[in-house]
Amino acid sequence: MKSILFVDDEIKLLKILSAFFRKKGYTIYIAANGEEARKTIKEKEIDIVFLDLKLPDTTGLKLLEEFIPLYPHKIFIIMTAYSEVESAVTAMKAGAFDYLAKPVKMNEIQVVIEKASTWLGMKQENIHLKEKLKEFESQNGIIGVSLAMKQIFEMVERVAATDATLLLHGESGTGKSMIARMVHKLSNRNGEPFIAVNCAAIPEQLLESELFGFEKGAFTGANVSREGKFEAANGGTIFLDEIGEVSLPLQSKLLQVVQEKSFMRLGSNKTKQVDVRIISATNRDLKKMVQEGAFREDLYYRLNIVDIYIPSLKDRKDDIPIFIEGFLRRYRKKYNKNFQVSPQLMNNLSNYCWPGNVRELENALERAVVLCRGENLSLEDFPREIQKNKQTTLNNEQFPTDPNKSLPQQLEEIERQIILTALEENHGNAAEAARKLGVSRQRLLYKLNKYFVQ
């Protein structure tokens, strides 16, 4: 629960506010003038500050202008009489989070506190994620905080300085190409080329010439000689993605270049030597393919000197918030908007299985920022399957049946959870939550008073 400071010259009001919100579990401080407010905010850990515009020794607006530069991580809310709404607008422009017109009702203050608490939690989480993201990007050039990823980082650091061939395996979209680039970046070859080849994306009849190059006249249309990817990667690293898609005839030629670092261009009898490190990747079970005769056993063992398995995203959920923050940083810069994800939405995204792994997550986030009406992403901005997953979660987890409660009691609990979720997803904005729920704002406030104000 957050700590709150109420600053007002009405002592009776301060006592009522203090008693009411202490019962709710909040830590409450009060101040009757500007001097007391300065002393309290300096000495105590306070999250939210309510400032009355009129005080005996100063004004709430002056305190606001004084406090905001000193305490940028606190939230300030102005309380004002109806006749002073214009001053409240000025306060909002100066940095106030919200304002309330007196006389205020407890349920209205409660809603504003919940909205402010959600915003504070989201801001603190974003700061934490940015710190983690910066740390891992600076250390590894890749993002991930799960135990599995830390073990992969350790393995990469151990093998990067060697010339051992690496085989990366895992589902599509798990980040195998990022690991390959990371190995190259940490190796003593980092000043030389890194050449990536997607073996599945190039037709079989063209893959040989793409890898090894060709001489003029080697085939119809070969009007000039051209070097292949292995020559282009000389001194550096070549990354053969989807290696399991290479045909058996071409596998024998790959074996020669892996073993002897030599090959012949298509249409040539001259052997060329290259100094390259070979990293391969696949989403297929190469060992099973060897047993079935679809992949050469000798090539498999040559490529698999060191193997690294990258687990799917559903098996390393701790990485999901880090990836989300990393992608959002890119989109904030691209679209010049401060896109945010609420804690509730982050929880929903972390509980989705992501069958397409990191690639699917990136695509879903890009869709969301494109469809987002403002800067706060909503579950509605994401693909249908992610929204359906949320509904399944609601049905299976949030609303379990309780045989000890009557049907009306259970229905009220479900309604309470739906309202709470709508408020969290809309960052405490009651009007927006009411619109999403299909009820009037007055009806929603009535329900809030019923379920959340005792």
Kindly indicate the confidence band of residue 396, based on its pLDDT and cuts at 50, 70 and 90: very low
Residues 327 and 437 grouped into a single domain: yes
Residues 173 and 292 grouped into a single domain: yes
For the record, the structure tokens of 374 come out as: 């403002």
Do you know the residue count of the chain? Answer: 454
Residue 185 resides in a domain: yes
pLDDT of 454 strictly over 50: no
Residues 308 and 403 grouped into a single domain: no
Contacts of residue 346, defined as CB under 8 A and 6 or more positions apart, other chains included, come to: 125, 321, 324
For the segment 5-31, the average pLDDT, to the nearest whole number, is 92
CATH of the domain at 69: 3.40.50.2300
Residue 82's pLDDT is: 57
pLDDT of 21 strictly over 60: yes
For the stretch 438-453, pLDDT in tens is 777 777 777 777 765 5
Residue 114 resides in a domain: no
Residue 181 resides in a domain: yes
Kindly indicate the confidence band of residue 89, based on its pLDDT and cuts at 50, 70 and 90: confident
d(CA 425, CA 164): 49
For the segment 393-408, the average pLDDT, to the nearest whole number, is 57
**Could you tell me which residue, 211 or 157, shows the higher pLDDT?**
211
For the stretch 307-349, pLDDT in tens is 999 999 988 888 898 889 888 988 999 999 999 988 888 888 9
pLDDT of 387 strictly over 60: yes
Residues 193 and 64 grouped into a single domain: no
Residue 123 resides in a domain: no
Residue 391's pLDDT is: 52
Residues 259 and 271 grouped into a single domain: yes
Instruction: Tell me which of 7-16, 136-145, 192-201 is least confident.
Output: 136-145
Q: Which pTM was predicted? A: 0.61
Residue 401's pLDDT is: 56
Residue 125 resides in a domain: no
For the segment 370-381, the average pLDDT, to the nearest whole number, is 90
Residue 332's pLDDT is: 92
Read off the amino acid at residue 123.
K
* Total number of domains in the chain: 3
Give the residue numbers spanning the domain of 434: 316-452
Residues 329 and 297 grouped into a single domain: no
Residue 117 resides in a domain: no
Mean pLDDT score of the chain: 85
Residue 102's pLDDT is: 83
Residues 302 and 346 grouped into a single domain: no
Residues 421 and 358 grouped into a single domain: yes
Note whether 70 and 95 are within 8 A (CB): no
Residue 40's pLDDT is: 95
Beta strands in 161-305 (DSSP E): 166-169, 194-198, 237-241, 262-264, 271-273, 277-282
**Could you tell me which residue, 321 or 138, shows the higher pLDDT?**
321
Kindly indicate the confidence band of residue 276, based on its pLDDT and cuts at 50, 70 and 90: very high
For the record, the structure tokens of 285 come out as: 């079970």
For the segment 45-55, the average pLDDT, to the nearest whole number, is 92
Residue 289 resides in a domain: yes
Residues 177 and 278 grouped into a single domain: yes
Q: Which of 313, 329, 345 is the last residue of a domain?
A: 313
β-pairing verdict for 306-309 and 166-169 = parallel
Residues 153 and 78 grouped into a single domain: no
Instruction: Tell me which of 109-123, 128-142, 231-245, 283-297 is least confident.
Output: 128-142
Residues 306 and 336 grouped into a single domain: no
Residue 397's pLDDT is: 46
pLDDT of 155 strictly over 80: yes
Residue 390's pLDDT is: 61
Contacts of residue 339, defined as CB under 8 A and 6 or more positions apart, other chains included, come to: 328, 331, 332, 369, 372, 375, 376, 377
Q: Which of 313, 343, 359 is the last residue of a domain?
A: 313
d(CA 358, CA 232): 29
CATH of the domain at 152: 3.40.50.300
Residue 416 resides in a domain: yes
Q: Which of 279, 313, 347 is the last residue of a domain?
A: 313
pLDDT of 199 strictly over 90: yes
pLDDT of 264 strictly over 80: yes
CATH of the domain at 355: 1.10.8.60
d(CA 424, CA 454): 20
For the segment 368-380, the average pLDDT, to the nearest whole number, is 91
Residues 329 and 424 grouped into a single domain: yes
